[in-house]
Amino acid sequence: MITMKYTALVTILAIVVTFYFSARVGAGRAKLGINAPAMTGNPTFDRIFRVHANTVEQIVLFIPMLWIATMVVGDMWAAAIGALWVVGRLIYMSGYSVNADKRGPGMLITVGSTGILTVISAWGVIQAFIA
């Protein structure tokens, strides 16, 4: 039985969003004629690719902090903050896909939610050592 069901759900959503961004890269390659291993060549493709690559870069920070924070503040709180990360990624994608200058709000939400989870996680670990 999964006791941290909300955190598990947010983890699955984060993976699904990342997979969706990966599929967008594949579709963009086909539509815009960018053959592998090329990673640049068309500004539209470049933005699609960067959304996916940046998400992969961010998810490796997000997932461990999400699960450690879950042990500190509980399933609901950590999952709520984690859900912000997922929403931030979608906002990032919708802004960046139109214009690279519009990626800021989504990135702030993403980095902010990961930052909050990191502070919670660090606080919990420090408390465990001094308790």
Q: What is the pLDDT of residues 7-62, one digit of tens each?
A: 999 999 999 999 999 999 999 999 999 998 998 889 999 999 999 999 999 999 99
Residue 1: the pLDDT is 79
- Residue range 51-75: mean pLDDT, rounded: 98
Residue 39: the pLDDT is 87
Domain boundaries, the chain: 5-125
The CATH number of 5-125 is 1.20.120.550
Q: Which residues fall within 8 angstroms of residue 33, CB to CB, at 6 or more apart? A: 42
Asked if the model's pLDDT at residue 131 lies above 80, the reply is no
Residue linked to tokens 């709180």: 77
